[in-house]
Structure 1
Amino acid sequence: MDDESTPGRKAANGEDSIYWDKSKGRFIGAVSLGYTPAGKRHRPKVSGKTKTEVRRKLRELRKELEQGAKAPAHHTVKQAVETWLAQGLKGRAPKSLETYRYLAATHIYPSLGAAKVRLLEADTLDEWLDEKAEVLATSSLRLLLSVLRRSIAHAQRRGRATRNVAELVAVPEGRPGRPSKSLTLEQATALLSAQEGKWIHVYVVVSLLVGTRPEETRPLTWAHVHIAPNDGSKPHIDVWRSVRRTGDTKTRKSRRSLAMPKQAVEVLEGHRNRQQAQFKAAGKTWTEQGLVFPSRVGRVMDASSVRINLRSLLKEAGFNNPAEWTTRELRTSFVSLLSDHGVPIEAISRLVGHNGSNTTERVYRKQIRPVITEGAEAMDEIFSRGHDGDAEAP
């Protein structure tokens, strides 16, 4: 019986070989197929925890390679990815398609695009990923490898590839991602005082004091903003929509009703009055089904437009590096401010609609529903300007 913990004899030329890779902690099996047109040895590989597992995989690989004689010899990685992008993503959101196309054009085509899928080797992909790990975060590397795996799998289903070598490699550790940050109380107070009366100020108030996601705030309609509810509940916002392809919130637990602090109520009421006056002056009919933050052509505001206007507001508020902030950090600031104020994490989880909360109720329109009030009450205490006295300047 072979010793499963040590490598065997060295394989002769033309034979399959099995050896121990100390860096991976696994046995590697290689099939020798001569040389590629570029002069490199063509040695497709498999890996496993034991020699027995590797031998089985080598037998399967040999069968696949025999069948592979029928696969197109010149089908390239770029062709495989382009075909998957055109045929394998039907019904996906345009934003997702844009991301995949960018990753392919920027990181796959320049390095691997001309390579033949049939001759692609795990070592080549390992080297490619290690190179990309110098400039990309781990999450981006995972997405990049996913694009390649799914493209080759799509080619397999259409007889253009016999094996998916991308399944044999692992994602290395990439560069640390951009750390998110939160506003301090002084920064938040300054931001809430900048550009009052403009739509971006209202957007910041809703995001920072109510805690909605950017993709929930941009498609918000007046029908979901209850400034003076008739059912006796507190003024609140129904977070029931997002800019996702289906229009649904991120998760079922993200669908929630959130009470508004007094400052948010006052700011939204003023914003609505100004919007109604603008519609009247333009000879248009204002309706509750309309957007709270419409673009100039009446559609959902583009994320980049919000970001540009936010950074303008940050500059006016005295921030040294406005470009370092994103709209999503208004939400992280909401969480941090509540946590610093002593609000229990379980309550915060409910407010932001995280899946970790087991107490978030699913709410429906036209019902007398439980409105989550902890956030509004805390924000009234944190930002008491104009109600219980002016807040201290930062």
Structure 2
Amino acid sequence: MAYVTTSSGIRKRMYVYGKTWNEADAKLTELKSMEHGGIPVPDSESTVAEFLAYWLAEEVEPNRRPKTYQGYASVVTVHLVPGLGKKKLRKLRTQEVRTWLNRLRNECQCCKREWDKNRTEPRCCAVGHCCQRKLSTRMVQYIHSVLRNALQHALREELVLRNVARLVRTPAPSYATGQGLPTSVAKLVLKELRDHRFYALYVLALTMGMRRGELLGLSWTAVDLERRTLIVATNLQRVGGELQLVQPKTASSTRTLPLPQLVVEALTEHQERQAQERAAAGTEWKENGLVFPSRIGTPYEPDNLRRSWGPIRRKFGLTHRFHDLRHTCITLLLDLGVPPHVVMEIAGHSDHGVTMKVYAHASLDEKRRALDKLSGELV
């Protein structure tokens, strides 16, 4: 037993317990050391679930983007509360977090959530043929990061002595290099889409490397065709079941880009096409100032844009996603010898390490030219 100052500012008598006398004595020594060092001792009896609810409401929702809050809340509800929610926050141990994460990584989600059992005709886990549908390495890492962020906030508020989640390591996911279209195929795609109502959008995706949400969230006020500039400052996302214009994820995602002639011409034609659509819609037109809205001016459903890419992909026998058009822009810029820091700013990456690690990859011909050049110097 020792008298210590708690995080609530009250001096209290606190007891320690252990399986052995040495364990209890070590805990008592730690308490006294904190008291002598002027460090308040956490005295909250709240559970992990109670703290996570407070953290989401008071820290995440007011200060983070809606999409971030939505992702955090989903992880808390689906994974953290069922797994660790009943444990006392201040008593949570590193070993408990590590054991729980290992179990989470190896669990079949179909068995755990009885997805197959709820099907009209069970075909795997419910009939004894486990489908081994486990969480991806990236998802486990994300769940761990949400817990780590929450406990870091608890540490700042002196509710815990240390962030036990930071002491646990999770395997890092491996990212494949960006798979862009070859230049010849990119030209064929643009030729095929020449009369498409979103031809200008595809031109922007291939030549400016803009993300899907950035394209659909682009407003005419951000486009200056006379000065040939474009400002990427909004992002269209589905949040809570509704399409919303939100701020970019990072400061580097907000950027001003010069417009090449191909883009200027495509946007000029698109502006005229949109004026015709506005006139045809009449009173049904809902003006939102968007460059790429629906046929009545409302925000365009992102999934519909993905579907519009499907016929083109099938026609040319491609396996590329719509997002790979952005990859095409970045990889072609790098192949043309554009400095990585310039490509980084065009793409809106936070640092050039992302640009080089995820997108940069040399072709066999490039490697051959490089090695031939080196061997030539040695002859």
* Same-fold status (TM-score > 0.5): yes
2:199 matched to 1:204?
A: no
Rounded Cα–Cα distance in structure 2 between residues aligned with 1:316 and 1:62: 74
The structure-2 alpha-carbon separation of the partners of 1:246 and 1:15, relative to structure 1 and needing over 3 Å to count, comes to: same
Q: For structure 1, which runs of at least 5 residues remain unmatched after alignment?
A: 1-10, 18-29, 34-54, 358-394
Rounded Cα–Cα distance in structure 2 between residues aligned with 1:258 and 1:302: 27
Choose which of 115, 124, 144 in structure 1 pairs with 2:96. Answer: 124
Q: Secondary structure of 2:282's partner?
A: coil
2:328 matched to 1:333?
A: yes
Rounded Cα–Cα distance in structure 1 between residues aligned with 2:149 and 2:341: 38
Q: For structure 2, which runs of at least 5 residues remain unmatched after alignment?
A: 1-17, 107-133, 237-244, 353-379
Choose which of 175, 178, 181 in structure 2 pairs with 1:180. Answer: 178
Show the 5 A alignment for 1:1-394.
Answer: 13-16=20-23, 59-60=33-34, 70-72=43-45, 75-89=46-60, 90-132=62-104, 140-152=139-151, 161-167=159-165, 169-177=167-175, 179-227=177-225, 229=226, 236-243=228-235, 247=247, 250-251=250-251, 254-262=254-262, 264-283=263-282, 290-295=289-294, 298-319=297-318, 321=319, 325-327=321-323, 329-345=324-340, 347-354=342-349
C-alpha displacement at 1:334, in angstroms? 0.5
Rounded Cα–Cα distance in structure 1 between residues aligned with 2:176 and 2:32: 42
Task: String of CA shifts for 1:228-283, please: whole Å, max 9, x gaps.
Answer: x2xxx5xx331242228774684368522312243x33332332222101111222
Q: What TM-score does the superposition give when structure 2 sets the normalisation length?
A: 0.63
- Identity among equivalent pairs (%): 24
C-alpha displacement at 1:302, in angstroms? 4.4
C-alpha displacement at 1:127, in angstroms? 1.8
Task: String of CA shifts for 1:36-64, please: whole Å, max 9, x gaps.
Answer: xxxxxxxxxxxxxxxxxxx8699449999
Which residue type is aligned with residue 181 of structure 2? L
Rounded Cα–Cα distance in structure 2 between residues aligned with 1:291 and 1:207: 16
The structure-2 alpha-carbon separation of the partners of 1:202 and 1:58, relative to structure 1 and needing over 3 Å to count, comes to: farther
What RMSD over aligned residues (CA atoms) do the two structures have, in Å? 4.2
Rounded Cα–Cα distance in structure 1 between residues aligned with 2:38 and 2:306: 51
Which residue type is aligned with residue 114 of structure 1? K
Which residue type is aligned with residue 102 of structure 1? S
The structure-2 alpha-carbon separation of the partners of 1:348 and 1:195, relative to structure 1 and needing over 3 Å to count, comes to: same
Q: Secondary structure of 1:115's partner?
A: coil
C-alpha displacement at 1:206, in angstroms? 0.8
Q: Give the match for residue 51 of structure 1.
A: none
Rounded Cα–Cα distance in structure 2 between residues aligned with 1:62 and 1:297: 69
Paired residues in the alignment total 299
The structure-2 alpha-carbon separation of the partners of 1:162 and 1:270, relative to structure 1 and needing over 3 Å to count, comes to: closer
Which residue type is aligned with residue 239 of structure 1? I
Q: What TM-score does the superposition give when structure 1 sets the normalisation length?
A: 0.61
The structure-2 alpha-carbon separation of the partners of 1:155 and 1:192, relative to structure 1 and needing over 3 Å to count, comes to: same
Task: String of CA shifts for 1:184-231, please: whole Å, max 9, x gaps.
Answer: 22332332233433344331211101233434322222333344x2xx
- Contact kept, 8 Å, 2:197 with 2:270, in 1: the verdict is yes
C-alpha displacement at 1:123, in angstroms? 0.5
Q: Secondary structure of 1:294's partner?
A: coil
